């Protein structure tokens, strides 16, 4: 096993230095609090599986490299253990673990077993054949409960030592959705609205022109709520001005279908708003969590380049507009990315991987994909599109949305510094 080290990451030119977004007299205190919280984060997310293991050359030890998994507090045989050594008068191997105990069948009189039922097990024999037979009977028992962790096994012979992991994992119950037989039982449309009832009604009318029976869920935090009625429309009222992402969380929390389609309240369905095309892509590629389209011809996709950097300083993030990856197999009009436009179909259970942070009240979108980096698989397909309605925002709406100005931006940068443990960020 070799130690790992990571130096500071290098910020992109013209990056925003996030620590500088705090007043000077607060920076040291916030940095210390972030450091303490990050240590707790590592405890929750790191395991023995993240350690670097090196296989020494010409080792006489045979052992499993991966694929050994045990249920917490249960036992299993360790497959593949063997010793390949030159002829000796006596052979001795030792195995050590830290989160369980080891056992072996000691019925073979040619093999002496010590440490049975303990964390260190030693087998000694004058017969290599008998020793290898005994190695096939070694079992590992987990002695501590954890839903997903690992134990490192040390396997030694003379001056040779091999290390390999045993994964301790609680099997998960699958959570699946009964798809039903038509698009209306497969997809729910979700909307967050605020002070734009005229836009909302136009959007709903356009939806009904193409999907008359599809369920629509509306999260509404307007100051003076107005009831929106209609078949298969669910409107949920929030305290006034709770914010953009809080409304997203509410709307999606009520979805009972496998997928939800996110649209803004000033969008407009057209003949090119083919939810079925999104659905086809998602069903053909079950590994996908999100597939986005285009809004008025704009796909607005991006990639995220992230360097974890040194823990105390934090990482470096570059959101690269028009950054994309490989095409989606079988769908040349689609390609993988890290983020897409604010018109997308998503798997309902994927929202659990990366929630919409309700601290972000007004202008936010990329932040969800940033939080989901490494857990959300995202694609963009340009052949599914939606339109924007002509701008008819009320003075109150425009005033409220722009009222925070620089303070909202500063808050988001502070949030990236602490929550995401970032040193700097660049939007390009």
Q: Is 362 found in the same domain as 220?
A: yes
Is 37 inside any structural domain? Answer: no
**279 & 201 share domain:** yes
Q: What is the DSSP string of 342-358?
A: S-EEEEGGGGGTS---T
Domain end marker among 110, 143, 169: 169
Geometric angle at alpha carbon 5, from 144 and 353, rounded to 5°: 55
Sign of the Cα pseudo-torsion (340, 342, 348, 353, in order): positive
In a domain, 177, yes or no: no
pLDDT averaged over the chain? 92
- Whether residues 115 and 189 share a domain: the answer is no
Contact 194, 187 (CB under 8 A): no
pLDDT score recorded for residue 1:
41
CB 425 within 8 A of CB 413: yes
The ranges of the chain with pLDDT < 70 are 1-5, 393-405
pLDDT tens profile 161-183:
999 999 999 999 988 888 888 99
Residue 45, both tokens: 């997310």
CB 176, CB 374: distance < 8 Å: no
Residues 260 and 138 in one domain: no
For residue 234, being part of any structural domain is answered with yes
10 Å CB burial of residue 182 (0-12, 13-18, 19+) is exposed
What CATH number does residue 411 fall under? 3.90.550.10
Residue 71, domain CATH: 2.60.40
Residue that terminates a domain, selected from 118, 143, 169: 169
Same structural domain, 157 and 204: no
| pLDDT at residue 3, as a whole number | 41
Domain's final residue, options 169, 202, 219: 169
Residue 24 lies in a domain: no
Residue 32 lies in a domain: no
Note the pLDDT of residue 5. 53
Structurally, how many domains does the chain consist of?
Answer: 2
Question: Based on the domain organization, do 276 and 405 belong to the same domain?
Answer: yes
pLDDT for the residue 4: 46
> Is 3 inside any structural domain?
no
Same-domain pairing of 132 and 216? no
SS3 55: coil
| Contact assessment for residue 313 and residue 379, using Cβ atoms and an 8 Å cutoff | no
Residue 412 lies in a domain: yes
Q: What is the pTM of this model?
A: 0.87
249 with 149, same domain: the answer is no
Quote the strand ranges of 267-371, DSSP E: 267-268, 290-295, 302-310, 314-321, 327-328, 331-337, 344-347
Give the model's pLDDT for residue 121: 98
What is the DSSP annotation of 208-257?
Answer: HHH-TT--EEEEE--SS------TTEEEEE-STT--HHHHHHHHHHT--S
Q: Are residues 203 and 114 in the same domain?
A: no
- The Cα 305–Cα 325 span in angstroms is 12
159 with 194, same domain?
Answer: no
- Structural domain includes residue 368: yes
Do 139 and 287 lie in a common domain?
no
The phi and psi torsions of 414 (rounded to 5 degrees) equal -65, -40
Tell me: do 88 and 223 sit in the same domain: no
Supply the range of the domain harboring residue 420.
183-427
The CA-based angle 367-193-264, given to 5 degrees, is 60
């Amino acid at each position: 096993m070799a130690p790992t080290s990571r130096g500071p990451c290098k910020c992109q030119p013209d990056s925003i230095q996030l620590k500088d977004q705090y007043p000077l007299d607060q920076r040291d205190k916030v940095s210390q609090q972030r450091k303490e919280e990050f240590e707790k984060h590592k405890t929750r997310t790191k395991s023995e599986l993240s350690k670097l293991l090196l296989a020494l050359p010409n080792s006489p030890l045979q052992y499993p490299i991966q694929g050994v998994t045990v249920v917490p507090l249960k036992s299993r045989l360790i497959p593949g253990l063997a010793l390949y050594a030159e002829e000796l008068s006596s052979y001795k191997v030792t195995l050590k673990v830290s989160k369980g105990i080891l056992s072996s069948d000691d019925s073979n009189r040619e093999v002496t077993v010590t440490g049975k039922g303990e964390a260190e097990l030693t087998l000694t024999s004058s017969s290599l054949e008998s020793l290898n037979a005994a190695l096939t009977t070694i079992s590992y028992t987990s002695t501590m409960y954890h839903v997903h962790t690992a134990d490192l096994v040390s396997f030694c012979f003379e001056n040779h030592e091999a290390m390999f992991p045993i994964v301790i994992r609680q099997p998960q119950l699958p959570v699946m959705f009964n798809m039903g037989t038509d698009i209306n039982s497969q997809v729910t449309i979700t909307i967050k609205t605020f002070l734009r009832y005229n836009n909302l009604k136009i959007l709903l009318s356009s939806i009904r022109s193409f999907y008359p029976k599809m369920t629509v869920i509306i999260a509404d935090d307007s100051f003076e709520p107005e009831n929106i009625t209609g078949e298969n429309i669910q409107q949920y009222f929030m305290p006034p001005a709770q914010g953009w992402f809080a409304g997203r969380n509410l709307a999606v929390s009520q979805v009972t279908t496998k997928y939800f389609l996110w649209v803004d309240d000033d969008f407009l369905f057209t003949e090119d708003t083919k939810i079925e095309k999104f659905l086809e892509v998602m069903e053909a590629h079950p590994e996908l969590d999100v597939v986005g389209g285009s809004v008025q011809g704009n796909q607005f996709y991006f990639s995220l380049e992230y360097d974890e950097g040194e823990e105390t300083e934090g990482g470096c993030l570059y959101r690269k507009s028009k950054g994309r990856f490989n095409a989606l197999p079988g769908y040349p009009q689609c390609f993988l990315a890290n983020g897409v436009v604010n018109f997308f179909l998503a798997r309902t259970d994927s929202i659990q991987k990366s929630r919409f942070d309700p601290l972000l009240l007004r202008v936010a979108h990329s932040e969800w994909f940033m939080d989901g980096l490494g857990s959300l698989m995202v694609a963009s397909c340009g052949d599914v599109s939606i339109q924007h309605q002509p701008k008819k925002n009320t003075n109150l709406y425009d005033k409220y949305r722009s009222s925070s100005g620089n303070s909202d931006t500063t808050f988001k940068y502070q949030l990236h510094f602490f929550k995401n443990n970032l040193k700097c960020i660049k939007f390009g």
